[in-house]
Structure 1
């Protein structure tokens, strides 16, 4: 936890955007907060939540909100270009990916332009990544290695089994277990 917190403090000291931590929220020593946006308010971690993975907000937009009492395991990747909202009491297993966009342009020429921009001036503020918000309800459990794709809403108390690929919204449930391939 010391290494991640030192990096977090160094970026904050230098005036670079990081995140907003509510009381009791913690970053694990492997956590990475990558904020290409203009404000630390674009990544908010709720009370008593733990983040061991990577949170990334693109420069063209993006917002990540993690509720209270959540656990984001090591290796989890949450990347936002528009909005990812995670409710309270959510568990995200190791190596889970949650994306609200394509992460890069799909056409080769546009992708190369984006990469050149990243290498020279940083993440572009104008890029089309087909962003669509993701919402994860209270009490959701997402198993190891699952992938949650753009535009998905996962209802309250749903369990997503390890290795699932979720490309469509899932209604709230009491103990509904989703197995998708």
Structure 2
């Protein structure tokens, strides 16, 4: 998704671009920001879409229209099995230990958070979001830094998602909507 030139935005402009007229989620999540080559962006996005679809099936049991099975419970079992196999393959690689839990503000366009360390990326990289405590595999999304400013506790970063696959964009929208619904339900229970 093309956006503004990262070197022309001030923090307030980046804030408006990412969160102006869209659904925003605010939560504490472990994140890790890494620099990678742009050549791997397609693979990163395909894996992110796959992970978001599996997570959606596990959490809501919502049917996917392109699935061959019509039984929602069978689709959930298949999604859990796919996820379990992926987790087994990643057991040898533990990257979560280097992830920092931050207060994250995000929309389908990007994220903003205070990083206690300086940004490891110059212009673009991959943001690893650890969405669930029971899920050690991160959601990896290509990002481009829009702005950076000093803040209490470190540097506030504004990162725009660089998503060029419509399926990934839809899956991310669905995740944010589920997060929003979950937050509303929790707020109602607390009242």
**Same-fold call, TM cutoff 0.5:** no
Q: TM-score, normalised by structure 1?
A: 0.23
Which protein is bigger by CA-based radius of gyration? Answer: 2
More helix by share: 2
